[in-house]
Homo-oligomer: A and B are copies of this chain.
Amino acid sequence: MIQTSIITGQQARLASRSNAHTTSTSGLAPGYLQANLIILPSRYASDFRNLCARNPVPCPLIAESATTGCGDAVISHINTLRGDEILGKGSDLRRDAPRYMVYKDSKLEKSHCSDITEEWTSDHVAFLIGCSYSFEAELTAAGLPPRQLVLGRNVPMYRTTLRLCPSGVFRGATYVVSMRPYKRRDIEMVRSITRRFGATHGEPLDWGWEAVERLGIEDIDAPEWGDAPMDGDGKRAFGRARAEGGGECEDEEIPVFWGCGVTPQEAVMRAGLEGVVMAHAPGHMLVLDARDEDIAR
């Protein structure tokens, strides 16, 4: 029962480093920010930093290596936080996520390895990107818990046809979105709660069944990542439930879409980069020292 004793971001990182914690970080160190980790050769750093600045909803950049090659300190991209408040002294970006992925010349080289100390070079730059765990806690606190949390499933994630604003070598990538069903009458409340979390995807991108079409999602019941969405009792697929008689009433549940942190990873994979690129393994995030509240407006 290691997990229950992990209550701070630093404890989560140390447990990951010592391999006492090796699984998904969902639910770990509640209230602490978790980050997607993307590590690139320095020649791609400017284009990637700019990609995030240009697409803040799916690519909310929180921090990056303090200098090229620096794996133990970050500079902040959040106005209200210093780098050492995001990631304190004694951290190690090469060991402190539970699991990592390594790509060489855009091909998967290692999957779910416990550290990247061998692959890391003095030419690498790490980027920390916000994730949606922050606003999920807030939704739950407001009595609007995301469906997948209630059912103990993963959030469904979809490729869309909505393109990112390009930046240098990062061209042609599209938004990845996550989906949580909500009742029509709760939409404005959901928007207003998540709006405060601009640094972690913020309010929904779009919602309703028309949004499925606008985003170019082919089948709501077949997400590209995560688990298929379910209706409230966890018995029927969410899309099928609709087909069997969804109404237009305020009580009807509709799909609500948010920008998703898988987006920048997809953009990196699609860009065909040369050299060694690294990332956290899906769900195995880097837990930070800053708290959800620190980035809420």
Residues of A that sit less than 8 Å from B by CB: 46, 50, 53-57, 79, 162-163, 165-166, 168, 171-172, 175, 191, 195, 198, 202-203, 205-206, 214, 259
CB distance from A60 to the nearest CB of B (A): 11
B57 & A172 in contact (Cβ 8 Å cutoff): no
Give A162 to B162 CA distance when docked, in angstroms.
Answer: 8
Give the residues in chain B near A206, CB-CB below 8 Å: 166, 171
Give the residues in chain B near A50, CB-CB below 8 Å: 195, 202-203
CB distance from A58 to the nearest CB of B (A): 8
Copies of this chain, how many?
2
B55 & A165 in contact (Cβ 8 Å cutoff): yes
Give A168 to B202 CA distance when docked, in angstroms.
Answer: 12
- Please, could you name 23 A-B residue pairs with CB atoms under 8 Å apart, sorted by A? A46-B195, A50-B195, A50-B203, A53-B56, A53-B198, A54-B56, A54-B57, A55-B165, A56-B56, A57-B165, A79-B79, A162-B165, A163-B163, A165-B175, A165-B205, A165-B259, A166-B205, A166-B206, A166-B214, A168-B191, A171-B206, A171-B214, A172-B214
Give the residues in chain B near A57, CB-CB below 8 Å: 54, 165
Give A198 to B46 CA distance when docked, in angstroms.
Answer: 13
Give A165 to B55 CA distance when docked, in angstroms.
Answer: 8
Give the residues in chain B near A172, CB-CB below 8 Å: 214
CB distance from A177 to the nearest CB of B (A): 11
Give A172 to B213 CA distance when docked, in angstroms.
Answer: 12
Give A198 to B206 CA distance when docked, in angstroms.
Answer: 26
Q: A50-B195, A165-B259 are in contact. List 15 more A-B contacts (CB 8 A).
A: A50-B203, A53-B198, A54-B56, A55-B165, A56-B56, A79-B79, A162-B163, A162-B165, A165-B175, A165-B205, A166-B205, A166-B206, A168-B191, A171-B206, A172-B214
